[in-house]
Amino acid sequence: MKKCLFLLSALLLLAACAGPKVVRETVETDQFVCEVTVYAPDVVRVVKYPLGGVGASQKKSYSVVMEPQKTRVKRVENKGAVVLNTGKIVAFIDKATGQVTFSDPVSGRRLLQEAGSKKVHLWNENMHIYIPFFCSEKGYGVYWDNPGMSDFEDEPGGKTVMTSEVGDCSDLYFLYAGGDMDALMATERKLGGKATMFPLWVHGYWQCRERYHSTEELCEALRTHREMGIPLDCIVQDWQYWGENENWNSMRFDNPLYERGDTMIANVHNNHAHLAISIWPDFGPLTPQFKELEAIDALLPFKTWPMTGGVKIYDPFNPQAREIYWKYLEGLVDQGVDALWSDSTEPDHFYPTKEDDDYRTADGTWRSVRNAFPLVTNMGIYDNYRAKGYAKRAVQMTRSASFGIQRYATFSWSGDVQSRWNVFRAQIPSGLDYTICGIPYWNTDIGGFFNWFYEGGTDNVALKELQVRWMQWSVFVPVMRNHTSGPLTTEVYRFGAPGEWAFDEQLNAIKLRYNEYLFGPSILVHPVTEPVLTDGKAALTGATGAPFTTYLPAGTAWYDFQTGECLEGGQEYTREYTISEIPVFVKAGAILPFGPDVQYTSEKPWDS
């Protein structure tokens, strides 16, 4: 390895430094062609395809919007290899095998070496968003650009294997910005598109449930929040405001229990809140959308949710179908709906068959494009929204995602998760994994969606404790949204009256959300993900708190957010936390601005 690095360094010293240009190096082996394209100093693309096959210039990408930039590259070639040095990445291309090795140009440290030609296999579903991007503690990232049915596997010894059932070529992007993870994420957004800016109210508290059954029920919940002083910026109307399944997703208030939709919307706005509303990628046969989509052969013959009523998924890969989708959705937006909740964008697909996977969409077989479904669906909505020239910013929440979806004002949540402590714990790494793919906004159903495990509903002490801990953690999640499945209703006031801990601690968490929001580089959060008051099922144990240990990173001092105690970094710190506290530490030297006490984000100016 040392000899190899020495030789590499010597070659680089001899490299001629040409002026900036788009650099693409092609190496042909006896089995395939390897194309290495420099997109920028910190982005290098590697495409491999069979002799006579589809190259980089011919392959379509749903996720990547970046074009190759003119870059100053040092190039060296000898009998066995071509070496490209961008100043941030060194790519060593073996001419005999087509193998590509990436190294740091300063230290000479090898970052990533290919094991050979690769393909990928991932498949989106409810509660599982598969984005073929991974990064290393060395500071590099790899995005594999294939929206088809694929597999990813880590093998012993640090070997990563990616295979796919479909694809004209293997196509990966190597990203490296000197080892800094923030810089890596900025590079991701160069590749997949910049994240849009959301309005301020998105950062407030969202109240949601499955579902408000009438205009009056939703308006009453909003009114109760205001009367009880519970801050709220968004309330969400879930499905069936359209009526029966045959009329599924008509995108109109056809259900008589909702009267005219503008009555609901006006009431929400008059109470200084915003309305998000559920829309789906499938339609019932009585809807005008179904009829128009059927006429252009843009309905997929799959079993989906709901299982009754003859509902079918539309084909978003058909541009004409996307226009039909928007034509009817536009009416809701024109009425004043503030955010669109595009549910089931995997989409739900029950009892899939080989025939289903081979079914040809407008852009290729289902098995070759399905993981791009959420991206293309939300793209169609966003592009039409922007083209219409609305004065307010677009906001879209969707259940599935693809690399690059942040450019369409779209973020996801973790799906229909269960109300269990182990599931709660799993949300933390899930959110970190998701956002490190370059998509900055994400959230969960606070308290969990499916809650069948707790007898007595919101009177159950164990459910109260789980709800409080989940709510406390969600203060520090990009979007704070309370949601659950019926018949349970989990508005804060359902868990107790003012003065009772299950009410007070949720209210305190929501108020903290409005008073503090710069928690990126300066705040360390260690959520309490084990029951303290209960045994996790029902009965009180009598405990008021429990010891929790947090590692405080070295290199700085940390302040305990609750006590103000200054603690040295590089140590484990243990103390007891009651139900009103979670371990939160602030980096020494941080400036932490607090806003005024408000009931919604625009109630008072934030200029103090």
Residue 519 has which token pair? 């928690």
The more confidently predicted of residues 258 and 159 is 258
Whether the per-residue pLDDT at 19 is higher than 80: the answer is no
The amino acid that residue 497 corresponds to is A
Q: pLDDT at position 116, please?
A: 73
Q: What is the pLDDT of residue 152?
A: 86
Give the residue-averaged pLDDT of 466-477. Answer: 96
CA quadruple 80, 86, 90, 93: dihedral sign: negative
Angstrom distances, CA of residue 514 to CA of 3, 202, 431: 58, 11, 21
Rg (CA), the chain: 26
With H, G, I as helix, E, B as strand and everything else as coil, classify residue 37: strand
26-42 pLDDT, tens digit per residue, is 999 988 999 999 999 99
Q: How far is it, in rounded angstroms, from Cα 332 to Cα 338?
A: 9
pLDDT the model gives residue 2 = 38
pLDDT for position 18: 58
pLDDT of residue 261: 81
Residue 393 token pair: 């910013």
Looking at the predicted structure, is the pLDDT value of residue 150 above 80? yes
Average pLDDT (500-519) is 84
Predicted confidence band of residue 544 (pLDDT cuts 50, 70, 90): low
539 pLDDT higher than 80? no
Active-site residue set: 343, 346, 416
Tell me the percentage of the chain whose pLDDT exceeds 90: 79
- State how far the Cα of 80 lies from the Cα of 97, in Å rounded to an integer: 10
167 torsion bin: left (phi>0), alpha (psi -120 to 50), beta (else): left
Predicted pLDDT of residue 3: 38
Model confidence band, residue 6 (pLDDT cutoffs 50, 70, 90):
very low
Neighbours of 99 (CB within 10 A): 18
Q: Map tokens 């590499």 to a residue.
A: 8
* Sheet of strand 410-413, all strands in order from the earlier edge strand to the far edge: 442-443, 410-413, 396-398, 339-342, 274-279, 234-237, 205-207, 480-482
**pLDDT tens-digit series, residues 420-467:** 999 999 999 999 999 999 999 999 999 999 998 888 999 999 999 999
Report pLDDT for 323.
Answer: 98
CB 198 within 8 A of CB 441: yes
Q: What is the pLDDT of residues 167-209, one digit of tens each?
A: 888 999 999 999 998 999 999 999 999 999 999 999 999 999 9
Average pLDDT over residues 363-373: 96
Arithmetic mean of pLDDT over the chain: 91
Nearest CA-CA partner of 402 in 381, 429, 373, 422: 373
Whether the per-residue pLDDT at 158 is higher than 90: the answer is no
Please give the pLDDT value at position 519: 63
Among 49-58, 59-68, 210-219, whose mean pLDDT is lowest? 49-58
pLDDT the model gives residue 453: 85
- pLDDT surpassing 50 at residue 7: no
pLDDT reported for residue 537: 62
Q: Give the mean pLDDT of 278-285.
A: 98
pLDDT single digits (tens) 102-119: 999 999 999 988 777 555
- Of 12-16, 230-234, 264-268, the one with minimum mean pLDDT is 12-16
120, 162 Cβ separation under 8 angstroms: yes
> pTM for the complete prediction?
0.91
- Residue 89 makes CB contacts below 8 A (sequence gap 6+) with 41, 42, 44, 102, 103, 104, 105, 174, 176
Dihedral sign (CA 572, 578, 583, 589) = negative
Report the 10 Å Cβ neighbour count for 139: 17
In this predicted model, what pLDDT tens digit does every residue of 548-603 receive, in sequence order?
899 999 999 999 999 999 999 999 999 988 899 999 999 999 988 888 899 999 99
Percent of the chain scored above 70 by pLDDT? 94
